[in-house]
């Protein structure tokens, strides 16, 4: 972790945000027309880019499976064929089933009931569902439940290690605490901040082909990869 003062870190984080927002504009996250679609997307995007998830979501929609009770009643094989593009499709179909089972059997499919609790309680509950780890739980809390928790991911790890804030072996919780300590807990701000980071990660900061020269925050990077 860096040794700079908290105030300095706060200003740096805000400056990064301004640079990214200036480049991309509002990103309108999370893509999804319903809370259920957001949750499905959060599970499907595990370890895969959104492009593949979009195909899978379209497939699910086309046969009416992007519906809580439809997904609850239909066999897992129906889900599998729709989500092949998202990698690990057999496991992810099982994960979707576990999530929808929980939602229906405990809350009769009512998200407002499921989300009507503190962030800490909701997070603990989500982490108890098969297939939901820290990042997926936090994505659901922020984007579906609209409660202020900062979502971090592989892009956050990579970008902020290249910016010099930590090394790559930092834990998920360390990264999350870092942002939540230095940024005000506002749902819409956390929403947009994470969306901006993913934008930068996608376009400029891949492991294969970094494009630092065009990246809106690369001038702050300590390490430049060519």
Query: Of 68 and 141, which CB lies nearer to DNA in the complex structure?
Result: 141
- Of 60-68, 178-186, 202-210, 216-224, the segment contacting DNA by CB under 7 A is 202-210
Residue 192 as a binder of DNA (CB under 7 A): the answer is no
- Of 8-16, 67-75, 117-125, 194-202, the segment contacting DNA by CB under 7 A is 194-202
Q: Indicate the SS3 state at residue 122.
A: helix
Residue 135 as a binder of DNA (CB under 7 A): the answer is yes
Among 12, 24, 32, 49, binds DNA (CB under 7 A): 49
Q: Which residues fall within 8 angstroms of residue 52, CB to CB, at 6 or more apart? A: 85, 86, 87
Site for DNA in 147-186 (CB under 7 A): 153-155, 171
Residue 25 as a binder of DNA (CB under 7 A): the answer is no
Q: Considering the complex, what minimum distance in angstroms separates the CB of residue 96 from DNA?
A: 12
Query: Of 63 and 76, which CB lies nearer to DNA in the complex structure?
Result: 76
Among 34, 62, 108, 202, binds DNA (CB under 7 A): 202
Compose the 81-100 pattern: x for residues touching DNA by CB under 7 A, - for all others: ---xx-xxxxx---------
Site for DNA in 206-225 (CB under 7 A): 206-209
- Of 18-26, 112-120, 129-137, 179-187, the segment contacting DNA by CB under 7 A is 129-137
Q: Considering the complex, what minimum distance in angstroms separates the CB of residue 6 from DNA?
A: 25
Dihedral sign from CA coordinates of 177, 178, 180, 181: positive
Q: Is 188:21 a contact under the CB 8 Å cutoff?
A: no
Residue 133 as a binder of DNA (CB under 7 A): the answer is yes
Residue-wise DSSP of 3-33: -S-HHHHHHHHHHHHHHHHHHH----PSP-S
Alpha-carbon span 43 to 143, nearest angstrom: 13
Residues that contact DNA, how many (by CB under 7 A): 36
Q: Indicate the SS3 state at residue 111.
A: helix
Nearest to 83 by CA among 46, 44, 31: 44
For 38, the token pair is: 């957001």
Q: Which residues fall within 8 angstroms of residue 157, CB to CB, at 6 or more apart? A: 168, 170, 175
Helical residues (DSSP H) of the chain, grouped into ranges? 6-24, 35-44, 50-62, 68-73, 76-82, 89-107, 111-114, 119-127, 134-139, 154-162, 172-182, 187-204
Query: Of 9 and 39, which CB lies nearer to DNA in the complex structure?
Result: 39
Which parts of this chain interact with DNA (CB under 7 A)? 42, 45-50, 52, 84-85, 87-91, 129-137, 139, 153-155, 171, 198, 201-202, 206-209
């Amino acid at each position: 972790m860096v040794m700079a003062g908290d105030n300095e870190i706060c200003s740096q984080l805000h400056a990064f945000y301004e640079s990214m927002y200036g480049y991309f504009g509002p990103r309108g996250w999370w893509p999804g027309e319903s809370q259920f679609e957001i949750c499905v997307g959060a599970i499907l995007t595990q370890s895969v880019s959104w492009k593949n998830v979009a195909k899978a979501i379209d497939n699910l929609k086309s046969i009416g499976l992007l519906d809580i009770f439809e997904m609850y009643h239909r066999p897992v094989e129906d889900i599998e064929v729709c989500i092949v593009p998202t990698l690990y499709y057999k496991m992810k179909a099982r994960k979707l089933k576990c999530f929808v089972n929980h939602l229906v059997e405990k809350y009769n499919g009512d998200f407002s009931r499921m989300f009507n609790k503190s962030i800490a309680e909701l997070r603990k509950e989500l982490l108890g569902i098969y297939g939901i780890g820290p990042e997926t739980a936090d994505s659901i809390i922020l984007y579906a439940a609209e409660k202020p928790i900062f979502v971090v991911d592989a892009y956050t790890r990579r970008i902020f290690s290249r910016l010099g804030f930590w090394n790559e072996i930092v834990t998920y919780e360390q990264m999350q605490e870092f942002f939540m300590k230095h940024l005000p807990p506002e749902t819409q701000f956390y929403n947009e901040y994470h969306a901006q980071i993913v934008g930068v990660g996608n376009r400029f900061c891949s492991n294969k082909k970094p494009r630092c020269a065009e990246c809106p925050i690369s001038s702050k990077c300590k390490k430049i990869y060519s």
